[in-house]
Structure 1
């Protein structure tokens, strides 16, 4: 964190988003259908104090649906479906981060 804070010292706040993991696996109850799991963390860092002022985690591991893909469907066309599923999970996490972090930071900014 100190390195990031130093690299962006001209900014008051730094947003650091990290993918913690992703992958795909079959549903134990339906071994021919697969789920795409994704996990990420967001930190808002005060570059002056080098302290984390807000943090949120997100995990996506969808329930099986009628549209759940097979392994072949996930990997077809250069893994197009897998990439779509990961993009959708990351977008969903970003919306969750906005809902968790933004109100807290909006209050912090208005108090400054």
Structure 2
């Protein structure tokens, strides 16, 4: 099943939402605290240890690390032709000088059954368009949730700071 899922993601060019989430929160953080975002990598690191991250960004005081922990789909146990898309992401604010995590939170989406849950073909047809749309819904919600939880940065705060 893992191989099938990985092939589905690759063949349908489904992007990992963690990059979008990290960029969304970083933009809000920069606006609220008058910080400069230096760069944003789109290639995941092979090691998420604090030492590796700090070494990769020696010119930065802080690194906002966003990482997809899980993304998968599965049928509901009591509704075999109805599927759910599950997603979880972790966000960490890392001080590169002290090599410490200043803030960390997890956002997860694991929907309960609903009558409009997609069938397997609805989920996978059209180049995975349903999955792509749903992942963006999750990414927007998780960006808002993590920005608020970890950094106290909200869309409303951002609007009040921007003149």
**Conserved? CA contact 1:24–1:36, under 8 Å:** yes
Aligned to 1:83: 132
1:108 paired residue number: none
Give the RMSD, CA atoms, in angstroms: 1.4
- 1:3 and 1:34 map into 2 onto residues whose CA distance is 37
Gaps of 5+ in 2: 1-49, 154-163
Instruction: Give the alignment's TM-score, normalised by structure 2.
Output: 0.60
Give the drift of 1:3: 2.1
TM-score by length of 1: 0.85
Q: Residue 13 of structure 1 corresponds to which residue in structure 2? A: 62
Partner of 2:112: 63
1:38–1:59 CA contact under 8 A, matched in 2 = yes
* Match for residue 49 of structure 1 among 71, 78, 98: 98
Assess if the C-alpha contact under 8 Å between 1:38 and 1:60 holds in 2: yes
Consecutive unaligned residues in structure 1, runs of 5 or more: 105-112
Q: How many residues align?
A: 104
Q: 1:40, CA displacement in angstroms? A: 1.0
Higher strand share: 1
Alpha-carbon displacement from aligned partner over 1:50-84 (angstroms, at most 9, x marks no partner): 11111001111012223211000001101110121
> Following TM superposition, where does structure 1 have runs of at least 4 consecutive aligned residues deviating by more than 2 angstroms?
none
1:13 Cα offset (Å): 1.0
**Structure 1 residue 2 displacement after superposition:** 1.3
